[in-house]
């Protein structure tokens, strides 16, 4: 069978690329190896073991935490308990429904799904090996590599699925661990650490660097740490993890503190969340001659073309943030470029969100990055404590911070820690896409009482005319 386009990997990068290419009249096949009970599981990391299951657990655990800690102040009396089996059943139901939805989208767009492991034999030629070992070869004018990423395994902390686990396991613990140690204070560590802490686990996060989520503005990272500490999470920063000893009834993580003293953390489970590595091995890339970067990501040019003609790569497999929405943008861009259209992605304008409580959202440059680039900036801030809607909701932690160019007033970056930060960042993104200034945001009328007024006030603060603080 000859296709216009074969995509290897059906995560948010791959399946969105397939849909867009089909919309543009292309004959498309998508190869996916993830299958269960004879059924292909589309949707990649994001739907199966990433964004969606983790958010389902965050939502359940947030309701439980709210009920336990905050209902009383509203005059609501309850004595909640957690049924972990039901929580996991609900989470699996959410995931299965969305995975089934992607299969429906493939049928609707006449995208052929080829189940099995894809291998690039040469430009335009792909072999698919099914689980039973059956092999089939397919031709296409273009091949898109979209194999995504998997958790990094540390050589001295091998995953055993029981005591030392990755996020793949930590979304399905059958019971709340009494003590959970998390290696890595990044996005996964804080999100999944929050889930189990809210349900009652004693959670300690051990991080190598002096700050949580190193990509975040330092002020925001500090505020996040403080808030999570109030929720009971413990943090040990600047620690060098050295290994772990497992026994029949637990595991002890060992590390070295900044001052060189030994540290040990007894626990029921250790979640290792130190980043993800691209799936650039085992799919024939090196043999076919696809160039990789030093960090084993597929090397692409500004238009996502690999070193081989007609072979493209997108999503977690290539440089840039490992985020589902970034993978989707890549997928759309490649489909449009293949169809002869123009496509451009501004990677500086990919928002990033940590779905803790409160949420943390950021976009563009941090204040420190602006300083490093020698840019003169004005910084506006506004605390949710001074926002009426946040007060009504009892969610006063956090603030909005906007960084604008001191001469042109163009918004260069923003960070929000606080209620509905993930949704608020979208409005700032829209201004930034059109080169908006802090004055543009300040002159945009925000409904009252909403938390979006905090964004407007932070923009006003950039101009030295904040109203409510
Ligand atoms: P993937 O989603 O990894 O999909 C790649 C697919 O390719 C997989 O299905 C894999 O089975 C398949 N594959 C690999 N090799 C082959 C082969 N040889 N043949 C056939 N198929 C193959 N991002 C966000 O934006 N927001 C979030 O809230 C968020 N939360 C996350 C939470 C967790 C716990 C994790 C682990 C990740 C989270 N992410 C989140 C990151 C997000 O999941 C990834 O950035 C995104 O899934 C990358 O998309 P992708 O299409 O590049 O690859
Ligand atoms: P991450 O890169 O966000 O964080 C890893 C953390 O581990 C860093 O803080 C790093 O300094 C630390 N670390 C590295 N080696 C260490 C060691 N030996 N000891 C102690 N700490 C160590 O990676 P992650 O949390 O594993 O997430 C992987 C990817 O998945 C990220 O790129 C992220 O973008 C994506 N993701 C996104 C979301 C979201 O958008 N909400 C949620 C989960 C995951």
Asked whether 315 lines ligand 2 (CB < 6 A), one says no
Ligand 2 touching residue 243 (CB < 6 A): no
- Kindly report the protein residue whose alpha carbon is nearest to atom 47 of ligand 1: 46
Q: Determine which residue's CA is closest to atom 2 belonging to ligand 2.
A: 275
Q: What is the pLDDT of residue 87?
A: 98
Give 322 Cα–ligand 1 centroid separation in angstroms: 8
Closest ligand to Cα 15: 1
pLDDT at 1 over 90: no
Which band of pLDDT confidence, cut at 50, 70 and 90, is reported for residue 60? very high
Q: Which atom of ligand 1 is least distant from the CA of 43?
A: 9
Task: Determine the structural domain holding residue 390 and report its residue range.
Answer: 358-462
Residue ending a domain, choose from 226, 247, 274: 274
Average of pLDDT values for 85-109? 98
Catalytic entry in 142, 344, 448, 468? 448
Q: Which ligand 1 atom is at minimum distance from the Cα of 9?
A: 7
249 CA from centroid of ligand 2 (Å):
28
**pLDDT at residue 379, as a whole number:** 98
Q: Share the mean pLDDT of the chain.
A: 97
Provide the pLDDT confidence category of residue 346 given band limits of 50, 70 and 90. very high
- State which of 314, 347, 380 marks the end of a domain: 347
Tell me: do 19 and 86 sit in the same domain: yes
Q: Which of these three, 328, 347, 366, is where a domain ends?
A: 347
Q: Indicate which ligand has the atom closest to the C-alpha of 148.
A: 1
Which CATH number goes with the domain that contains 409?
Answer: 3.30.390.30
pLDDT score of 210: 97
Token duo for residue 311? 């072979």
Q: Is the pLDDT of residue 330 over 80?
A: yes
- Is the CB of 461 within 6 Å of ligand 2? no
Residue 469 is assigned to a structural domain of this protein: no
In a domain, 223, yes or no: yes
Atom 8 of ligand 1, nearest CA residue: 44
pLDDT at 426 over 80: yes
Query: Are 11 and 114 within one domain?
Result: yes
> Predicted confidence band at 275 (pLDDT cuts at 50, 70, 90)?
very high
* 123, 85: one domain: yes
Please report whether residue 155 resides in a domain. no
Cα of 284 from ligand 1 centre, angstroms: 19
| 210 and 318, same domain (yes or no) | no
The whole-angstrom separation of Cα 225 and Cα 387 is 22
Do 245 and 301 fall within a single domain?
A: no
Residue 361 has pLDDT above 90, yes or no: yes
Of all residues in the chain, the percent with pLDDT exceeding 70 is: 100
Separation CA 372–CA 425 (nearest Å): 24
Residue 315 CA, closest ligand 1 atom number? 52
Span 159-176, pLDDT tens digits: 999 999 999 999 999 999
Measured by CA distance, the residue closest to atom 27 of ligand 1 is: 51
What is the arithmetic mean of pLDDT over 248-254? 95
User: Within 6 Å (CB) of ligand 1, which residues are found?
Assistant: 8-14, 31-34, 44-46, 49-51, 54, 117-118, 146-149, 167, 188, 279, 283, 315-317, 322-325, 327, 355
Q: Which residue has the least CA distance to atom 12 on ligand 2?
A: 184
* Domains held by the chain: number: 3
- Which pLDDT tens digit goes with each residue over 173-199? 999 999 999 999 999 999 999 999 999
302: confidence class by pLDDT, cuts 50, 70, 90:
very high
Measure 187 CA to ligand 2 centroid, in angstroms: 5
We report the CATH number of the domain holding residue 195 as: 3.50.50.60
pTM: 0.97
- % of the chain exceeding 90 in pLDDT: 99
Instruction: Please report whether residue 124 resides in a domain.
Output: yes
Are 322 and 436 found together in one domain? Answer: no
CA of 179 to the centre of ligand 1 (A): 28
Neighbours of 111 (CB within 10 A): 24
Q: Is 353 in the pocket of ligand 2 (CB under 6 A)?
A: yes
Q: Return the pLDDT at 238.
A: 98
Task: Calculate mean pLDDT across residues 258-267.
Answer: 97
Respond yes or no: is residue 448 known to be catalytic.
Answer: yes
Residue 281 falls inside a structural domain: yes
**What's the CA-to-centroid distance between 437 and ligand 1, angstroms?**
34
Atom index in ligand 2 nearest the CA of residue 188 equals 25
Residues 283, 379 within the same domain: no
**112 and 216 housed in the same domain:** no
Mean pLDDT of 387-411: 97
191 and 211 belong to one structural domain: yes
Q: Is 184 in the pocket of ligand 2 (CB under 6 A)?
A: yes
Same-domain status, 189 and 242: yes
Whole-number pLDDT of residue 22: 98
Average pLDDT over residues 280-296: 96
Q: Indicate if ligand 2 lies below 6 Å from the C-beta of 8.
A: no
Q: Is the CB of 34 under 6 A from ligand 2?
A: no
Query: Among residues 196, 203, 232, 224, which one has the least CA distance to residue 62?
Result: 196
Q: What are the tens digits of pLDDT across the range 61-92?
A: 999 999 999 999 999 999 999 999 999 999 99
Tell me: do 117 and 15 sit in the same domain: yes
């Amino acid at each position: 069978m000859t296709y216009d386009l074969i995509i290897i990997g059906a995560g948010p990068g791959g399946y969105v690329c397939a849909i867009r290419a089909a919309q543009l009249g292309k004959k498309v096949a998508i190869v996916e190896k993830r299958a269960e009970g004879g059924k292909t599981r589309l949707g990649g990391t994001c739907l199966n073991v990433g964004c969606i299951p983790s958010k389902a657990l965050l939502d359940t655990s947030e309701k439980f935490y709210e009920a336990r800690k905050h209902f009383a102040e509203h005059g609501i009396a309850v004595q909640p308990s957690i049924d972990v089996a039901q929580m996991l059943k609900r989470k699996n139901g959410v995931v299965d429904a969305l995975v089934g939805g992607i299969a429906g989208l493939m049928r609707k767009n006449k995208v052929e799904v080829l189940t099995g492991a894809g291998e690039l034999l040469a430009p335009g030629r792909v072999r698919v090996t099914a689980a039973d070992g059956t092999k089939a070869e397919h031709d296409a004018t273009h091949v898109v590599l979209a194999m995504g990423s998997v958790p990094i395994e540390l050589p001295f902390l091998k995953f055993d699925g029981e005591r030392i686990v990755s996020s793949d396991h930590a979304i399905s613990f059958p019971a709340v661990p009494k003590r959970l140690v998390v290696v890595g204070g990044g996005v996964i560590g804080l999100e999944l650490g929050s889930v189990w802490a809210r349900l009652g686990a004693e959670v300690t996060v051990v991080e190598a660097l002096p700050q949580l989520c190193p990509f975040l503005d330092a002020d925001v990272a500090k505020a996040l740490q403080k808030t999570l500490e109030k929720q009971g999470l413990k943090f040990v920063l600047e620690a060098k993890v050295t290994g772990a000893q497992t026994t029949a009834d637990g595991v002890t993580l060992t590390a070295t503190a900044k001052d060189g003293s030994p540290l040990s953390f007894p626990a029921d489970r250790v979640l290792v969340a130190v980043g993800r590595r691209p799936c650039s091995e085992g799919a024939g890339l090196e043999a076919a001659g696809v160039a990789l970067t030093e960090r084993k990501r597929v090397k692409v040019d500004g238009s996502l073309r690999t070193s081989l003609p007609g072979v493209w790569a997108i999503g977690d497999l290539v440089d840039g943030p490992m985020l589902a929405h970034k993978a989707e943008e890549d997928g759309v861009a490649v489909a449009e470029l293949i169809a002869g259209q123009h496509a451009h992605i501004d990677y500086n304008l990919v928002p990033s969100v940590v779905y803790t409580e409160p949420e943390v959202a950021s976009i563009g440059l941090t204040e420190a990055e602006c300083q490093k680039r020698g840019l003169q900036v004005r910084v506006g801030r506004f605390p949710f404590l001074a926002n009426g809607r946040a007060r009504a909701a009892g969610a006063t932690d956090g603030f909005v911070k906007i960084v604008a160019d001191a001469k042109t007033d163009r918004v260069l970056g923003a960070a929000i820690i606080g209620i509905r930060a993930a949704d608020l960042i979208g409005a700032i993104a829209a201004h930034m896409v059109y080169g908006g200034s802090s004055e543009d945001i300040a002159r945009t009328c925000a409904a009252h009482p909403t938390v979006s007024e905090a964004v407007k006030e932070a923009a006003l603060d950039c101009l030295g005319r904040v109203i409510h603080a």
